[in-house]
Amino acid sequence: MDAPADSTPIALTGAEFVAVDCETNARGGEACELTEVAIVLVGGGECHEEFSSLISGRNALPRGAQRITGITPAMLVDAPAPEQGLPRVLERLRGRVMVAHNASFDRRVLRQACQRAGLEWPEPPTLCTVAMARLLLPLQRQRALGPLADALGIEVEGRHRALSDARTCARVLCALLPRLNDRLPGARGGTRPGPRSCRQRGTTARAPCGA
């Protein structure tokens, strides 16, 4: 298990989670641009409010990214700029736990987009469903979002679009959270020591954040 990306303790009991997915132009580093973002609020083991938006970029959208996501330049013509589309996402992240599949990627994309747009990144505590699967399902070798959802009996509505992937991530979280709670010290049914990256005091855990 990779070490957490940060050391922010996460209170799991009663926490509200925001499943996030970002689609990009498939370029790396400074050339990476957000093209679509979606969030699904999760509380009490259920999915609640949803939000998604295409995001316009400064540069032409590569054909490779178009093939992967189905997002075309024509779809982005009237899409909001990051400074217009991201505030609704940031508002819902504040005070909640951000969850993503390969969370370091989505966090990096959103932080970079915020910096370019002159928006404050709220630095939410983060859970990664890839890292959770590595910890809780060690025999599950395929940890991509689709195969992991299939292994958990979760119906996948679509892939490589932000809202469908955020919904799937939210459902994977709901399936894995009870198992994570059972691994924490003092959990129901025993006093097993928690894993290295999930140490707990009361209801606060250093949960898996690495991918």
Mind listing the pLDDT tens digit for each residue in 122-139?
999 999 999 999 999 999
Q: In which band, very low, low, confident or very high, does the pLDDT at 208 lie, cut at 50, 70 and 90? A: low
pLDDT bin (cut points 50, 70, 90) of residue 119 is very high
**Confidence check: pLDDT of 103 > 80:** yes
In total, the chain counts a number of residues equal to 211
| Residues 61 and 73 sit within 8 Å (Cβ to Cβ) | yes
**pLDDT value of position 2:** 36
* Domain assignments of the chain as residue spans, ordered by start: 10-205
Q: What sign results for the dihedral spanned by CA atoms 151, 155, 157, 163?
A: negative
pLDDT band, residue 9 (cuts 50/70/90): low
- CA dist., res. 132 & res. 4, Å (int): 11
pTM value? 0.83
For 176-186, what is each residue's pLDDT tens digit?
999 988 876 65
Strand, coil or helix: what is 49?
strand
Q: How much is the CA Rg of the chain, to the nearest whole Å?
A: 17
Position with higher pLDDT, 192 vs 42: 42
Q: What are phi and psi of 19, to 5 degrees?
A: -75, 130
Q: Which CATH class is domain 10-205?
A: alpha beta
